[in-house]
Every structure is written in structure tokens, then in C-alpha cells.
Structure 1
Amino acid sequence: MRFENTGIETLVVELDRLDEIMKEHGLIRAGQWDWERVTYDRKFQIREGTFYLRIFGYTEDGDVGGHDADIKLLTPLLGKHYYPHGIEYGEGEEFPEHLVQTCEKALAAVYAELSLIAEK
């Protein structure tokens, strides 16, 4: 599921500040990065299954490993985890309304904080 028009997809944020703010909202980068891309995840284990709120980002000229990058954020996604295959974001997936609402609130809070420090 894509969360369109959150405003997050319009932002470019310095990596170290981005890491701090995302962590405050439960979105963790951990080992999910390479030299040009990052992924922030928030895991939800609920009665209906395991779900991930995921925000991807990339840098055009920085170095994520060296903590010297401005990250362009992409449209947030919600996916359901299926063992052992991975996460599905498809149109055929069913997402509990209470989970969608929780994600929307989290994304609004993330945008409110990031938009104060981001380049647009």
C-alpha cells in the first residue's frame, strides 16, 4: 500500500538528522543501506500478521556509509510479511484499518518534524 501525498516524498534531509528523527518515530535504518540508498522500517506485529511501514530514500552525490549524504525520500509503503518469501505491497493485500490509521498518524508526525529541517 502506498501512502500518497504525505509530503515526505518532497523532502531532502541530511542523513544524520534523518536517522535521529526517524528513530524517534520508531523507523529504524539498522543495516538496511548501501552507499546510495537507505530504508527505514517500523515493524508492527498484530493479530492480523506482521507488517512493515517502510520509507525508502537515496542520495545522488553523497556517501551513506561515510554519513555524508543528503537523502531524497520516496513515497512511504505499508507491506505485509510472508515467511519465507518477504514483504508484499501489492494491490491485492488487505491492511487492517486500525493499522493504516496508525501509519498515517506516524507519517504526519514524521513529516511535521522533517519539514522543519529539510530542503524541498
Structure 2
Amino acid sequence: MKFENTGIEKFKADLNRLDEVMHNHGLIRAGQWDYERVTYDKKFEMREGVFYLRVQGYAIEGDVDTFKATIQLMTPLLGKYYYPHGVEYGEGENFPNSLVNQCKKILEDVKNEISKFAEQ
């Protein structure tokens, strides 16, 4: 599921500040990066299954491995995890309304914080 028109996808932000904001909202980058891309995940374990809120971005300047990069954020996603295949984001997935609303709130809070220092 894509969270269209959140406004997050318009931001270009410093990697270090972005890491801090995302971490404060439970979105963890951990080992999910390469020299040009980052992925922040928040895991939700629910009765209906395991879900991930995912915010991705790519470096428009600098390199992620040096912690000196400007990241262009992309449209946030919500996916359901299936063992052993991975996370599915398809339209046919069923996401609990409470989870979708919780993710929208997190994304709104993240957007408000990032807007204080990011470029559009």
C-alpha cells in the first residue's frame, strides 16, 4: 500500500538529521542501505500478521556510507511480511484500519519534523 500525497516525497534532507527524526518515530535504517539508497522500517507485530511501514530514499548528493549525503525521500509504503518470501505491498493485501491510521499519524509527525530543516 502506498501512502500517496503525504508530502514526505517532496523532501530532500541531510542524512544524519533524517536518521535522528526517523529513529525518534521508530523507523530504523539499521543495515538497510547502500551507497545511494536508504530504507527506514517500523515493524508492527499484530494478530493479523507482521507489517512494515517503510520510507525509502536515495542520495542526490554525497554517499550514504560516509554519512554525508542529501536524501530525496520517496512515497512511503505499508507491506505485510510473508515467510519466507518477504514483504508484499500489493493492492490485494488487507491492512487493518487501526494500523493504517497509526501509520498515517507517524508519517504526519515525521513530515512535520522534517519540514523544519529539509528542502522541497
Residue in 2 that maps onto 1:80: 80
Alignment of 1:59-78 (within 5 A): 59-78=59-78
Deviations 1:21-70 (A, max 9, x none): 00000000000000000000000001100000000000123110000100
Residue 35 of structure 2 is aligned to residue 16 of structure 1: no
Task: Supply the distance in 2 between the matched residues of 1:66 and 1:106 (Cα, whole angstroms).
Answer: 28
In terms of fraction of residues, the more strand-rich structure is: 2
Query: What letter is aligned with 1:77?
Result: L
What root-mean-square deviation, in Å, do the aligned CA atoms of Structure 1 and Structure 2 show?
0.5
Task: Supply the distance in 2 between the matched residues of 1:89 and 1:56 (Cα, whole angstroms).
Answer: 14
Residue in 1 that maps onto 2:47: 47
What is the aligned length?
120
5+ residue gaps, structure 1: none
TM-score by length of 1: 0.99
5+ residue gaps, structure 2: none
TM-score by length of 2: 0.99
Q: Describe the SS at the equivalent of 1:59.
A: strand
Identity of aligned residues (%): 63
